[in-house]
């Protein structure tokens, strides 16, 4: 076990209570968590939330849609569910014989071939989820990490609709939810594309900010670090906390900077050097944003500015938007085709993300933080 693993047991318990419909907030219809990359979301899911769910005797299925970005999201979800179902293969065999004798066809997955990828035409994602609940005799917690990646393909979107349908069907039968959902995303605006429009699968669901690690983590972390250092040269919590804030509350980055600092045996003060290194990391990141933005054309800058200002509500080709681009770029005759070309270029350069249905979001939310701090909206 990682000696620096920081347990967030109370947060996991609160989320599980909420998923079960027993907490202060009710997330029995789904928990949607958004937080920047590398702030510890996946670590929390794997080391805190799933163990807590298993203590409650829930069947847990975890899928990371970024585990293989080239794979279709639907395929990743199907194979994860088949892996969970395979654990009940002996039970499935016994039931198959029983059903055949009684001429009952209850479980569609009885004829499922676990050695091949995909599903036969007569079996759906809803069937997999329903039958997993039946075979496990437990509520199922389905966790989809980086869920916004489902929007990258029509199959991925259809998978989200199937999961929503399965949730509605199964949870309408019992008092306690039989299928609980956790969907996370590293970009709030992208994840919101699943919830803000009537034609999206989870319309009306609320997205919550994933709680960043705070000063309690820094207290734990600093004690662990100092335990291996000389008594006359230790890190103080205030300096570690300042460095952590500069890294955007990213524990992995903090550990890298701390490690480099601790190896500098000639430093008079680890704490002073830590703050310098953290500030340097932060400055280099923002300098990169500055350089990238300065290379954009006036049209591209105007498009990007309005996207940051409007977020998920951005309507790139509305008359109001076109008027904004014309005024801010100084090009009164700006056409829709010119805006389309600007958006295409911004997508290629990694500024803008677009779903398969044409919704847009900023690719990196860290860029938005730099922009709001340094530019005028």
Segment 351-377 shows an average pLDDT of 83
Higher pLDDT, 268 or 83: 83
How far from chain centre, in Å, is Cα 232? 42
Higher pLDDT, 268 or 42: 42
Q: What is the pLDDT of residues 183-213, one digit of tens each?
A: 999 988 889 889 988 888 999 898 999 999 9
Do 9 and 52 form a contact (C-beta atoms < 8 A)? yes
pLDDT band at 99 (very low <50, low <70, confident <90, very high): low
The model's pTM? 0.85
Do 214 and 168 form a contact (C-beta atoms < 8 A)? no
Do 301 and 367 form a contact (C-beta atoms < 8 A)? no
Q: How far apart are CA 131 and CA 276, in angstroms?
A: 56
User: 153: which 2 tokens?
Assistant: 């393909």
Q: How far apart are CA 22 and CA 177, in angstroms?
A: 11
Q: CA angle, corner 204, sides to 200 and 206, nearest 5?
A: 115
Model pLDDT, residue 268 = 58
Burial class of 164 by CB neighbour count within 10 A (0 to 12, 13 to 18, 19+): buried
Given a cut of 50, whether residue 43 has pLDDT beyond it is yes
> Which conformational region is residue 360 in: left (phi greater than 0), alpha (psi within -120 to 50 degrees), or beta?
beta
Q: Which of 339, 314, 315 is nearest to 326 (CA)?
A: 339
pLDDT band at 103 (very low <50, low <70, confident <90, very high): very low
Do 49 and 58 form a contact (C-beta atoms < 8 A)? no
Given a cut of 90, whether residue 313 has pLDDT beyond it is no
Highest mean pLDDT (candidates 48-57, 70-79, 280-289, 358-367): 48-57
Q: Which of 121, 215, 194 is nearest to 151 (CA)?
A: 194
Query: How many Cβ atoms sit within 10 Å of the Cβ of residue 181?
Result: 25
Domain 9-209 superfamily per CATH? P-loop containing nucleotide triphosphate hydrolases (3.40.50.300)
CATH class of 296-374: mainly alpha
Domain boundaries, the chain: 9-209, 215-291, 296-374
């Amino acid at each position: 076990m990682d000696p620096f693993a920081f347990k967030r047991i109370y947060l996991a318990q609160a989320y599980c209570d909420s998923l079960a419909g027993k907490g202060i907030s009710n997330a029995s219809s789904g928990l949607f968590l958004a937080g920047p990359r590398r702030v510890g979301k996946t670590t929390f899911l794997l080391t805190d939330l799933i163990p807590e769910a298993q203590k409650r005797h829930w069947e847990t299925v975890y899928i990371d849609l970024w585990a293989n970005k080239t794979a279709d999201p639907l395929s990743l979800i199907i194979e994860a569910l088949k892996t969970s179902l395979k654990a009940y293969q002996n039970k499935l065999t016994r039931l198959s014989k029983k059903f055949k004798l009684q001429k009952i066809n209850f479980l569609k997955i009885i004829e499922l071939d676990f050695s091949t990828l995909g599903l036969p035409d007569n079996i759906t994602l809803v069937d997999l989820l329903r039958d997993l609940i039946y075979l496990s005799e437990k509520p199922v917690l389905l966790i989809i990490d980086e869920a916004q990646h489902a929007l990258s393909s029509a199959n991925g979107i259809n998978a989200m609709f199937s999961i929503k349908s399965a949730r509605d069907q199964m949870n309408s039968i019992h008092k306690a939810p039989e299928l609980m959902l956790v969907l996370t995303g590293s970009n709030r605006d992208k994840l919101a594309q699943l919830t803000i429009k009537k034609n999206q699968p989870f319309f009306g669901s609320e997205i919550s900010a994933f709680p960043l690690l705070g000063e309690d983590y820094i207290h734990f972390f600093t004690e662990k670090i100092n335990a291996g250092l000389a008594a006359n040269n230790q890190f103080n919590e205030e300096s570690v906390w300042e460095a952590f804030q500069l890294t955007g509350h990213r524990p992995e980055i903090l550990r890298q900077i701390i490690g480099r600092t601790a190896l500098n045996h000639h430093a008079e003060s680890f704490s002073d050097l830590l703050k310098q290194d953290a500030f340097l990391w932060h400055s280099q990141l923002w300098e990169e944003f500055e350089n990238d933005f300065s290379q954009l054309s006036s049209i591209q800058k105007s498009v990007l500015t309005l996207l940051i200002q409007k977020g998920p509500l951005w309507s790139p080709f509305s008359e109001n938007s076109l008027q904004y681009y014309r005024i801010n770029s100084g090009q009164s005759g700006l056409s829709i085709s010119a805006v389309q070309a600007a958006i295409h270029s911004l997508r290629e350069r990694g500024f803008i993300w677009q779903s398969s249905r044409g919704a847009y979001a900023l690719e990196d939310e860290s860029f938005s933080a730099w922009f709001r701090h340094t530019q005028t909206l």
